[in-house]
Amino acid sequence: MRNEERGRWFVIPSLVLLSLVTVYPLIYVIYLSLQRRLLIFDVSRFVGIDNYVSLAGDARFLNAFKNTLYFTALSVTLELALGLAAAVLINRSFRLKGLVRAVVLIPWAIPTVVSARMWEWIYNTDFGILNHLIGAKINWLGSPFWAINAAVFMDVWKTTPFVVILLTAGLQVIPRELYQAARVDGAGRWAVFTRIVLPLLKPVILVVLIFRTLDAFRVFDAIYVLTGGGPANSTETLSIYAYKVLFQTLRFGYGSTLAVVVFLCTGAISVFYIRLLSKGVRL
């Protein structure tokens, strides 16, 4: 038996295990999404694609989808911009460089639920330190406009360090000789950044975008703890809406349909970024 064939036999148990914990639940969720299943009334019957058709007329679903897109686009954009700026600064040589890197990682190391509760107190209208610092009395979590942006800011504070870690690692593999050659040729800092740093950093940037876009699109715990999806569903994302339908109203059929939609969207995002990576990262 050749080594390649022998290796396949070692891989088969892992494939079987992955199938049991991923493929089977996925197939079952798709099966549930084709049914009208209400545990409270003991209703269970096949309805085909009726649940998917109902999504088009579900105003709450469309609102959740809009909130998810807004949260994802704004948070990922800010995290990439701030993370890139911080990574460039941290990559320089200066005193206490190791300490600064450790401090930057603190928000990312704090559990998400703890961070959400902490920011809930920071945003408190009467006792929050944010209103005290700016000298105003803004109802951050009670206003539909401010609530979604407050959730975005909390997510940016929490996950930007993750972006900084990856981008810093990418910056460290860029040869120092390139910087020196550019300075000899008279290139300024902006020219070095746009013509050397960014082109060589594009693969890492794409990896960052993949991870953060998928995480932001599937966000649940941060917003659920901070606002619960309120006020007036202004911060309700697809994941929160699916959770409420599944576990609060026990509409397993329609809730599974929402879960499948989230899965399809994240799958489409993954395919889009992977195709960009395979084509040489032409951003």
Asked if pLDDT for residue 59 goes beyond 50, the answer is yes
Cβ atoms of 123 and 140 within 8 Å: the answer is yes
**CA torsion angle 212 217 219 224 (round to 10):** 150
Nearest residue to 237 (alpha-carbon basis) of 253, 252, 250, 218: 218
Tell which wins on pLDDT, 211 or 176.
211
Tens digits of residue pLDDT in 101-128:
888 888 998 999 999 999 999 999 888 8
Residues 6+ apart with CB under 8 A from 47: 34, 35, 36, 253
User: Six-digit token pair at 70?
Assistant: 């807004």
Cβ atoms of 159 and 110 within 8 Å: the answer is no
Query: Please, what's the largest Cα pairwise distance for the chain?
Result: 77
Cα 40 from chain centroid? Answer: 34
pLDDT at 158: 94
Task: Give the Cα separation of 124 and 140 in Å (integer).
Answer: 7
Cβ atoms of 147 and 235 within 8 Å: the answer is yes
- When pLDDT is cut at 50, 70 and 90, the band that residue 275 belongs to is confident
Average pLDDT of the residues of the chain: 87
User: Six-digit token pair at 89?
Assistant: 């600064």
Asked if pLDDT for residue 280 goes beyond 60, the answer is no
pLDDT at 186: 77
User: Six-digit token pair at 147?
Assistant: 């609530």
User: Six-digit token pair at 100?
Assistant: 């600064």
Tens digits of residue pLDDT in 231-269:
988 999 999 999 999 888 888 999 999 999 999 999 999
pLDDT at 188: 80
DSSP string, the chain: --HHHHHHHHHHHHHHHHIIIIIHHHHHHHHHHTEEEETTTTEEEE-TTHHHHHHHT-HHHHHHHHHHHHHHHHHHHHHHHHHHHHHHHHTS--TTHHHHHHHHTHHHHS-HHHHHHHHHHHT-TTT-HHHHHHT----TTTSHHHHHHHHHHHHHHHHHHHHHHHHHHHHHTS-HHHHHHHHHTT--HHHHIIIIIHHHHHHHHHHHHHHHHHHHHT--HHHHHHTTT-STTTT--HHHHHHHHHHTS-BHHHHHHHHHHHHHHHHHHHHHHHHHHHTT---
- When pLDDT is cut at 50, 70 and 90, the band that residue 3 belongs to is low
Q: Which fold has domain 24-278?
A: MetI-like fold (1.10.3720)
pLDDT at 4: 61
Task: Give the Cα separation of 170 and 275 in Å (integer).
Answer: 21
Percent with pLDDT over 90 in the chain: 43
pLDDT at 283: 46
Tell which wins on pLDDT, 105 or 7.
105
CA distances from 108 to 139, 154, 277 (A): 26, 11, 26
Q: Where are the domains of the chain?
A: 24-278
Beta bridge pairs of residue 45: 36
**59-68, 87-96, 239-248, 267-276 — which is least confidently predicted?**
87-96
**48-57, 136-145, 194-203 — which is least confidently predicted?**
194-203
Average pLDDT over residues 198-222: 90
Asked if pLDDT for residue 1 goes beyond 60, the answer is no
Asked if pLDDT for residue 225 goes beyond 70, the answer is yes
State the CB neighbour count (10 A cutoff) for residue 192: 17
pLDDT at 16: 84
